[in-house]
Amino acid sequence: MKKEDIIKKVNNVLDQIRPYLAADGGGVDFVDLTDDYVVLVRLTGVCGDCPHSTQTLKNGIEKTMKSVLPMIKAVEKV
């Protein structure tokens, strides 16, 4: 699968997650996909400063991303 296709799928997954984050006043923006399949994101709104943002990132976004796209190694915030 080409990198562009993976990025499109990553953005589709993020589109599915965004309403849940928005309900709490937060959001997530796609930044990049590294060559070793790490998705880089920026947490926005209250998620950007929330002490639970790491938990949201790993247990919510990353877990969902990896279940849909098994080639994704991790999701990290920048």
pLDDT digits (tens, 9 = 90+) for 33-60: 999 999 999 999 988 888 888 888 888 9
Calculate Rg over the CA atoms of the chain: 12
Please tell me the pTM assigned to this model: 0.93
pLDDT at position 54: 87
- Write down the domain spans for the chain: 3-77
Q: What is the pLDDT of residue 53?
A: 87
The average confidence (pLDDT) of the chain is: 94
User: Cβ(41)–Cβ(75) under 8 Å?
Assistant: yes
pLDDT of residue 47: 82
Correct CATH for 3-77 of 3.40.47.10, 3.30.300.130, 1.10.287.110, 3.60.15.10: 3.30.300.130
